């Protein structure tokens, strides 16, 4: 079975995660998918296969090289798809030799994948693309990564002339809700380092990500009949609005790129009596990240000075920039770059404007940069993946395995 066949099979599993269940995995479909993969890995003859109650699936492709001191390298991808859009009844379609211009995803609903809105499409003229039917996401994030890892392992099994050390693979739940690494047993995985196959377009190699926190500001008001409210009513929504407009207007996701951080208001729940603002705070630079948290605390104190005791703030760190954990072992980046070049891929080292399981794993003692899986426009109906990008990802994994043994 090739990488495309595997991918088309895997996207049929409904594995959306759900951050409201407080379970691991957060949805039963992830365990169903993991059990399917467990059977596939068993049939392939891998060893040390384990699937725990939390949905973490691990396995080993034993090394075939003569040398015993080759490092053990791991490859990781996540089972779940984003809660942002339905992943149920995914109906993928292959657009052969894309000729440019619009791709009709759903004629009945008038859903068009157009380079006028997604100009990156033009980079893939002449290639076969896998697209959605416009009703669901595709699931390349990260079922492309899973298909690529398993196909690469299959390729190594069929080509024993390629010498490699032990290869560990793992598929985990709930990455999309930020919990994928929480119960990942790094000791049991037992790799010297790993790569998540969870990046975007071909060539991407990432070892920097945002420092991240979530802030919840609660404003408590006082409701009084509006006809008799003078000097009595405290409208929590109006006070919350003051906090919103005091933050820098241009430091938001829609105005930033590259290494620029932001404050992102993700939800407002309010009434006169009580309003809750939820922000996520992001910055690649640790000192600026800390400054952003302090700024929200400062604004809360400022509001409380004008309206004594109405506001309270709670800030929780979510994850940190893995760069500080990768820099001491930069040879693992060098290996990934050289592997891409051997696979005829031009490496593109870029910062992640988000998080990744690899960041949390790096801080748990498993250095874990991120490599492209090939998909674009994740988390929505316009998601697509070029087939050659998936094939190149497979060969990148193969070349990493070869290089680790050579070095």
Instruction: Tell me how far the alpha carbon of residue 267 is from its chain's centroid.
Output: 21
**Number of CB atoms found within 10 A of residue 242's CB:** 15
Cβ 175 vs Cβ 139: under 8 Å: no
Marked catalytic residue, from 14, 175, 204, 383 = 175
66 is annotated as an active-site residue: no
Q: Whose structure tokens read 């990942």? A: 184
- Please give the Cα distance from 61 to 82 (Å, whole number): 29
Enter the tokens of residue 135.
């009703």
Q: Residue 256: in which H helix or E strand, if any?
A: none
Instruction: Say whether 6 sits in a helix, a strand or coil.
Output: helix
Q: Whose structure tokens read 């820099």? A: 327
Q: Whose structure tokens read 């657009």? A: 95
175 is annotated as an active-site residue: yes
- Please give the Cα distance from 166 to 146 (Å, whole number): 18
- Please give the Cα distance from 61 to 226 (Å, whole number): 71
CA angle 50–53–56, rounded 5-degree value? 50
Own/partner contacts of 253-257, CB < 8 Å, gap of 24 or more, are 257/353
Enter the tokens of residue 91.
């109906």
Marked catalytic residue, from 14, 80, 174, 176 = 80
Enzyme catalytic residues: 80, 175
């Amino acid at each position: 079975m090739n990488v495309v066949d595997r991918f088309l099979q895997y996207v049929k599993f409904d594995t959306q995660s759900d951050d409201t269940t407080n379970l691991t995995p957060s949805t039963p479909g992830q365990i169903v998918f993991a059990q399917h993969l467990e059977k596939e890995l068993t049939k392939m003859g891998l060893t040390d296969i384990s699937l725990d109650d939390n949905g973490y699936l691990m396995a080993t492709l034993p090394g075939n090289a003569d040398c015993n001191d080759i490092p053990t390298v791991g490859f990781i991808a996540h089972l779940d798809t984003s809660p942002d859009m339905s992943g149920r009844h995914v109906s993928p379609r292959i657009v052969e030799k894309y000729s440019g211009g619009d791709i009709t995803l759903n004629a009945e609903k008038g859903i068009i994948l157009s380079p006028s809105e997604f100009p990156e499409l033009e980079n893939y003229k002449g290639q076969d693309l896998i697209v959605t039917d416009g009703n669901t996401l595709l699931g390349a994030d990260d079922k492309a990564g899973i298909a690529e890892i398993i196909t690469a392992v299959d390729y190594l099994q069929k080509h024993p002339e390629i010498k490699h050390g032990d290869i560990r693979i793992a598929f985990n739940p709930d990455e999309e809700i930020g919990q994928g690494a929480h119960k990942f047993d790094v000791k049991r995985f037992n790799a010297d380092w790993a790569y998540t196959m969870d990046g975007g377009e071909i060539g991407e190699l990432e070892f920097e990500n945002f420092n991240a926190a979530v802030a919840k500001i609660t404003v408590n008001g006082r409701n009084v009949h509006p006809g008799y409210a003078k000097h009595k009513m405290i409208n929590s929504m109006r006070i919350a609005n003051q906090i919103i407009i005091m933050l820098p207007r241009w430091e938001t996701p829609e105005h930033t790129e590259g290494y620029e951080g932001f404050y992102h208001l993700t939800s407002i729940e309010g009434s006169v009596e009580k309003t809750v603002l939820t922000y996520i705070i992001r910055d690649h630079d640790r000192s600026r990240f800390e400054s952003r948290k302090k700024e929200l605390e400062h604004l809360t104190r400022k509001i409380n000075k004008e309206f004594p005791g109405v506001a309270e703030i709670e800030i929780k760190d979510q994850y940190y920039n893995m760069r500080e954990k990768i820099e001491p072992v930069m040879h693992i980046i060098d290996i990934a770059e050289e592997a891409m070049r051997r696979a005829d891929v031009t490496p593109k080292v870029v910062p992640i404007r988000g998080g990744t399981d690899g960041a949390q794993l790096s801080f748990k003692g498993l250095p874990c940069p991120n490599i492209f899986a090939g998909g674009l426009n994740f988390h929505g109906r316009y998601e697509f993946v070029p087939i050659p990008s998936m094939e190149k990802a497979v060969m990148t994994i193969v070349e990493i395995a070869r290089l680790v043994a050579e070095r």
